[in-house]
Amino acid sequence: MSRTLQQRIIKSKATFPVTVIISLLLWLTGVLWPLEGDTVLAGWWGMASCPVWLVEGGSLMLCLLAIFLLVQLNNAFLLVGHRSTLHTSFFLLLWSSMPAFSHSLGGNLFFVSLAACIFLLFHAYQGGMPVGEIFFLFSFLGMGSLVEMPVLCLIPLLYAGLYAFRVLNTRTFCAGLLGLLLPYWILFTYAFCADEMALFGAWWQALGQLLVWDYAGVPLSGWLLVGYLILLFLYCVNYVAINGRRYKIRTRLFLLFLAWWTFGGLLLCMLLPLAWDTLVAIPLLGVSLLAGHTFANSSTRMSNLVFLSMSVCLMLMSAYNCVWTL
């Protein structure tokens, strides 16, 4: 029986290498050539100078680490259904289509911390009393909150996930709180020893500045990206909802959590437009995994049409964001 074009592309061994080459070329168009001098890293900590080569090289290395974590997520929990690289291909193309994110050291560190957080959460599924895993899970979330504090809004969702995975109890609840505070204890120690206690005040002031609904600063590329993520998310959630009964309980719980995770991330992006270029990492993680699962396990005429349409739109959006807007 002949396979659809969708399945031919997904199962081809050339798909991932071609995606890597395209993504790398798109990323190179946004590199600050030549890699000399310093660039300014701005955030709640203030202004800091950093060598351009370190920012660009560090961003690329963190992207490689993110790909490794995504591969491990699928290999360990079979979220896609089999050993497929489709979810990493979606991630790479989406990653390269966001120059403000892919060339950001903080944005890539934020994504890696979230990917590690999700991996530890899924690994704790029915694991008895995985206190250590929960501690490090929330430690990664705390580290991500030092980049973008609004990610702390996802704490109730993580605890809800622990409850659904039957690992929430008094010990794991307290372990989560202690893990969440660990990055702040490290920050406090540094601030105290360096006599820079004003860092904590700057952190809260930065949160107040984010709570402004100023959508004028969101570029067209940002709206295109968020709109694309919403459309892809809706299609994938619809597929998971229709076919949910076919999955094992563990797989169904994981996919359901990713759906809520993505929804929460999209909501944060819409409510906090001033931080969309970093917070977009939250739905990017969820959509990449959901899209990889959906298109790798569906082969109908509709899914073939949607897959090809979304792939073409993604390529056009990437070209516009990375080439046309330069």
What are the boundaries of each domain within the chain?
48-129+205-324
* Strands (E) located in 93-203: none
Give the max Cα distance, the chain: 70
Q: What is the mean pLDDT of residues 98-117?
A: 90
Under the banding of pLDDT at 50, 70 and 90, the label for residue 1 is: very low
Q: What percent of the chain has pLDDT over 90?
A: 37
pTM: 0.91
Spatial separation of the C-alpha atoms in residues 320 and 4, rounded to whole Å:
29
The pLDDT value given to residue 11 = 79
Q: Which residue has the tokens 């090809």?
A: 308
Nearest by Cα to 282 from 255, 263, 310, 295:
263
Locate 62 and state its tokens: 């963190």
- Helix, strand, or coil (residue 13): coil
What is the rounded average pLDDT for all residues in the chain? 86
Across 71-87, average pLDDT: 83
Q: Which of 3-12, 93-102, 185-194, 249-258 has the lowest mean pLDDT?
A: 3-12
CA 20 to CA 18: how far, in whole Å? 5
Question: At residue 70, does pLDDT exceed 90?
Answer: yes
What residue type is 33 in one-letter code? W
CA atoms within 13 A on the CB side of 309: 10
First CA to last CA distance, the chain: 46
Q: What is the pLDDT of residues 134-182, one digit of tens each?
A: 999 999 999 998 888 888 889 999 999 999 998 888 999 999 999 999 9
pLDDT band for position 83 (cuts 50, 70, 90): low
Residue 326 has pLDDT above 90, yes or no: no
Closest CA to 63 of 105, 99, 28: 105
List the one residue out of 165, 300, 301, 307 whose CA is nearest residue 236.
Answer: 307
Q: Does the pLDDT at position 220 exceed 80?
A: yes
**pLDDT on residue 239:** 93
Whether residue 254 has pLDDT greater than 50? yes
